[in-house]
Amino acid sequence: MTSGLEFPADKAVSSVTATIPPRPRRTRRLARTKEATLGYALLLPALAVFGVFTFFPFLKNFDLAAHHPGPYPGSPNPYVGASQFFQIIRSSPFLDSLRTTLIFVGIAVPLGLFLGLALAVFANQKLRGSAFFQVVFSSTAITSIAVAAVVFETILSPSNGLMQWLGVHTGPGIQQSPGWAIEAIAGISAWQFMGFSFIIMIAGLQSLPEEVLEAARIDGASSWRVFWRVIVPLMSPTIFFGGVVGTILALQSFGAIDIIITNQYTTSSHTNVLINFIYDEIVYNRNFGYAACLSIALFLITLLVTVAQFRILEKRVHYAS
């Protein structure tokens, strides 16, 4: 309850406030200009790095793709426009490389996601020493692809590998085996992707509402039913994110093939994924226009696959409130 009295100090404050003129429009515009200038100044180093190493090479690809290499080094490159690009994407080597890439991605990404989710469910149990298993399972994410490739090449060696010691005869080496070379390389990439998948899956599992899982167990649901009917739907945003990121990484995977498959002619026969095809055209054939067309094709494929995942798979994602 107020007394209705007004003190002299209150009158002085109200009178001073009333006499303060509104901020001029020019002053406000100047303040916004200063803020924008500061923001652009802070962004300038990052924009410069991206411009030199990302945006400029990306735009330069289109210029290279529009020119056919000359008959000999140093000769002028004739302008051919987009005809070279459409000719390449209809060629048999590109279609074979695209099929190999799809096989590689189709094995590496689902296998890596499933292994990461399975290990995350195991490590999320309230067991003694679970923190140790979390560190071990996530270690593949920071393992160098060069180390992983050498280790797996030793394991699969037909002469003195671990598989031979266990009595499993793998036949010829990876380099000489068109039958299962790309599958073996995809398995190596899935093993390395498993660590990243495990990290995001364990983070998603630890954020699930425990009361929902407990209610399912009280209702008599088995562990397998809880996993498929409760955990997987609640984990669908995390699984979707892992699938999108894993697909982009797999389309650009190059290290294992480059290290294990050392012969360029063997590479071109059965493990010639698109990124490796681009490398071969640059390093061995010195055909920069052809490689630029392949790079643009890989970019468009990555873009289309990502858009298709968002348009089709995201409809099955359950975002719980």
Kindly report, residue by residue over 241-259, the tens digit of the pLDDT: 999 999 999 998 888 888 8
Classify residue 304: in a domain, yes or no: yes
Question: Within 13 Å and on the Cβ side, how many CA atoms surround 126?
Answer: 1
Among candidate residues 116, 310, 144, the one with its CA nearest the CA of residue 203 = 116
Q: Which residues have CB under 8 Å from 185's CB, separation 6+?
A: 104, 174, 256, 257, 260, 261, 271
Burial track 165-197 (b if 16+ CB lie within 10 A, e otherwise):
eeeeebeebbeebeebbbebbbbbbbbbbbbbb
pLDDT of 82-92, one tens digit each? Answer: 888 898 889 88
Sole residue written with tokens 């480059």: 258
Classify residue 206: in a domain, yes or no: yes
Classify residue 247: in a domain, yes or no: yes
**How far, in Å, CA of 30 to CA of 23, rounded?**
11
Classify residue 202: in a domain, yes or no: yes
Q: How much of the chain, in percent, has pLDDT values that exceed 90?
A: 18
- Tell me the CATH number at 303: 1.10.3720.10
Q: Which residues constitute the domain of residue 234?
A: 83-316
Classify residue 137: in a domain, yes or no: yes
Can you read off the two tokens belonging to residue 172?
């010829």
Classify residue 6: in a domain, yes or no: no
Residue 167 has pLDDT above 60, yes or no: yes
| 120 close to 199: Cβ distance less than 8 angstroms | no
Question: Within 13 Å and on the Cβ side, how many CA atoms surround 85?
Answer: 17
Classify residue 40: in a domain, yes or no: no
Among candidate residues 307, 254, 260, the one with its CA nearest the CA of residue 278 = 254
Mean pLDDT of 56-67: 87
What pLDDT is stored for residue 226 in this prediction?
Answer: 82
What pLDDT is stored for residue 266 in this prediction?
Answer: 47
Q: Which residues have CB under 8 Å from 238's CB, separation 6+?
A: 200, 201, 203, 204
pTM, 2 dp: 0.78
Count of structural domains, the chain: 1
> Phi first, then psi: what are they for 7, rounded to 5°?
-80, 160
Among candidate residues 192, 204, 195, the one with its CA nearest the CA of residue 134 = 195
Classify residue 266: in a domain, yes or no: yes
